[in-house]
Amino acid sequence: MNPDLASLQPYPFEKLAKLKHGITPPNQLEHIALSVGEPKHPTPQIITDALLKHLHTLGQYPTTKGLDELRQSIAAWLSQRFDINPNALDPNTHILPVSGTREALFSFAQCVVQRSDKAIVAMPNPFYQIYEGATLLAGAKPFFINCDQENNYLPDYDKVSTKTWKNCQLLYLCNPGNPSGANHTEAQLRQLIELAHRYDFIIAADECYSEIYTTEHNKPLGLLEVSQNMGNTDFSRCVVFHSLSKRSNAPGLRSGFIAGDAKVLKSYFNYRTYHGCTMPTLTQHASIAAWGHEEHVNENRFLYAQKFKDVLSIIDDSLDVKAPDAGFYLWAKTPISDIDFAQQLFEKQHITVLPGQFLARNTNDGNPGLNHIRMALVAPVGECLDAAHRIKQFIQTL
């Protein structure tokens, strides 16, 4: 067996299952799961209609590059959403379809990391655990950049040493952040692009939450947008990852794309011809319909904004929490240990939340997930409000 498999840590939800094991919650209360970031809003009919219309394509092998029409629709969306010069994005060289961002974020590291004892992949802490797993199985060491409240829950890149940057081959960037929902500023993204060129590493920007924001003021910037604005018009060392899972409430579609540096994508395309995760043709047609339709995205955004407003009006005087810049998580500080909080909340109120330390790693500066919980407001409005009232009632008993 691959010896690197032994380095993988249990997934957060495996730890959560052990935490809840043996506990009997109140039977009279319906279970409310705020732990998993799986969208529960209805999948738009334009997606399901397109799938049904193209069932006949199941008899065709899809290609690694995908349909020209799909890459063209993605390029059009990217250009419009992030104000990128349409002439700067070549659908043939700057874009590849992928089977969701999770698959691509993992396989990307296997392609671009050169194994060595010094190889480092930097990532935020807390983080999406795929970043760490991809790093370890690519033969590199993860370097965690803490996201503390003092830095608005964003990574403090100024604390990273020159030696670390020199050994860094890949930086995972999550913008907006998971779990905090914090947006990187243009200055921070410019700083990263400059560092990538100075120390010769690639930025993998996970932007899958970019379309869920409360106001235009909080609209997240994109890495390619900032790259263009600072004169890096060939997007050198910059690669972004997007998906229809959150944007279009279609996590089961497994549809996304990777875009940016043409030289990097050329190598990644070669890797993917062997990797074999091609997108089914009917999924591509459904994706074309989704990327070209913004009305359902606006409706989706409105529902999340409503839930944040209503839920926070109930719990903001009980928990240290605020509305995120973007995304659909609340990242709240707990009055007791996050482990005890999550366990007791399940035991007394039949609500599941994710302890923050399950999403982070211990570092010399501590574990930035300690005494925090992540709550995913993915359920219907009524269910989220019920959960908010129960959480407030629970806190009053502490």
- Domain 54-293 annotated CATH 3.40.640.10: yes
Per-residue DSSP letters for 8-63?
A: PPPPHHHHHHHHHTT----TTS--EE-SS----SPPPHHHHHHHHHTGGGGGSPPP
Mean of the pLDDT values across residues 299-326? 95
Share of the chain above pLDDT 90, in %: 97
Mean of the pLDDT values across residues 327-343? 97
Mean of the pLDDT values across residues 369-394? 96
Element at 49 (helix H, strand E) = helix 45-53
**pLDDT for 24-46, tens place per residue?**
999 999 999 999 999 999 999 99
pTM: 0.96
The answer to whether the CB of 127 falls within 8 A of the CB of 147 is: no
Question: Distance between terminal CA atoms of the chain?
Answer: 48
Q: What is the rounded average pLDDT for all residues in the chain?
A: 96
The answer to whether the CB of 244 falls within 8 A of the CB of 287 is: yes
The CATH 3.90.1150.10 domain(s) of the chain lie at 3-42+296-396
| pLDDT above 90 (res 389) | yes
Reported as a pLDDT band with limits 50, 70 and 90, residue 287 is: very high
**pLDDT for 54-95, tens place per residue?**
999 999 999 999 999 999 999 999 999 999 999 999 999 999
Q: State the Cα–Cα distance between residues 4 and 20, nearest whole angstrom.
A: 29
The pLDDT of residue 276 is: 86
The pLDDT of residue 113 is: 97
| pLDDT above 90 (res 119) | yes
Q: State the Cα–Cα distance between residues 55 and 213, nearest whole angstrom.
A: 34
CATH class of the domain whose range is 3-42+296-396: alpha beta
SS3 320: strand
Reported as a pLDDT band with limits 50, 70 and 90, residue 215 is: confident
**pLDDT for 262-278, tens place per residue?**
999 999 999 999 998 89
The CATH 3.40.640.10 domain(s) of the chain lie at 54-293
| pLDDT above 90 (res 214) | no
| pLDDT above 90 (res 341) | yes
The pLDDT of residue 216 is: 85
| Residue count of the chain | 398
**pLDDT for 158-210, tens place per residue?**
999 999 999 999 999 999 999 999 999 999 999 999 999 999 999 999 999 99
